[in-house]
A and B are shown apart, each in its own frame.
Chain A
Amino acid sequence: MGIIVNLDVMMAKRKISAGELAERIGITPANLSILKNNKAKAIRFSTLEALCRELKCQPGDILEFSDDNETE
């Protein structure tokens, strides 16, 4: 799995909708959906910064590393 994006968890904790968050951080809802569904191949520092600012959290709260070999 590699890097897991726990954006939906943080969004639920902060009670914020995808549309509202996308508008606040200045990305399209489609791109936020890509990020939320773990489809993204990379994330810009500027996007991560905006997410942390709006969700009042640390990058580690949004991103998580999962070792594939450990689970096998």
Chain B
Amino acid sequence: MDWNKDKSVMLSRVCIVVFAILLAAADIGAYWLVSWFMGVSRTLGGLRDGYLLLTTVYSCSVFAWILLVNLWKLLANIQRGMPFETSSVNYLRVSSWCCAGVCTICLLSTLYYTPLILVSIASGFMALIVRIIKNVFEQAIAMKTELDYTV
């Protein structure tokens, strides 16, 4: 198969759509998902823990939606052949804050369910990676601007 950058961007877009569908399904079926998890979990029990877990899922979902929208817009910039624009830096900044938001929520959720610390660490690490990529983009934009004005 003749693989090129357009197809790569298209694959990324398809992945975002797949994640959006999964997220929508998780949002719709969160109640049943939490009920099932409460059944199989040994540490979680009672109505209070159920509501807390549901709150965690829905609050993380908000950040996940914002993240997906921003990634979609970033891919649109890349597809237009203009990835090094100020808007791309903003999309990455928001994405990083979304990961940091999920990190915080999961960290607070460890008060009632300790294993969520793993999700918290993973999303915190992801926030750091995205933040560094954002810094790289900022530097690249500065270099591009200078190159554009080199005669």
A residues near B (Cβ < 8 Å) are 27, 31-32, 34-35, 39-44, 47
Contact = CB atoms under 8 A, between A and B. Distances in A.
B149 interface: yes
Contacts of A34: 149, 151
Interface of B: 145-146, 149-151
Contact of A32 (B145, B149, B151): B151
Given A40-B150, A41-B150, 20 more contacts: A27-B151, A31-B151, A32-B151, A34-B149, A34-B151, A35-B151, A39-B149, A40-B149, A40-B151, A41-B145, A41-B146, A41-B149, A42-B146, A42-B149, A42-B151, A43-B150, A43-B151, A44-B150, A44-B151, A47-B151
Contacts of B149: 34, 39-42
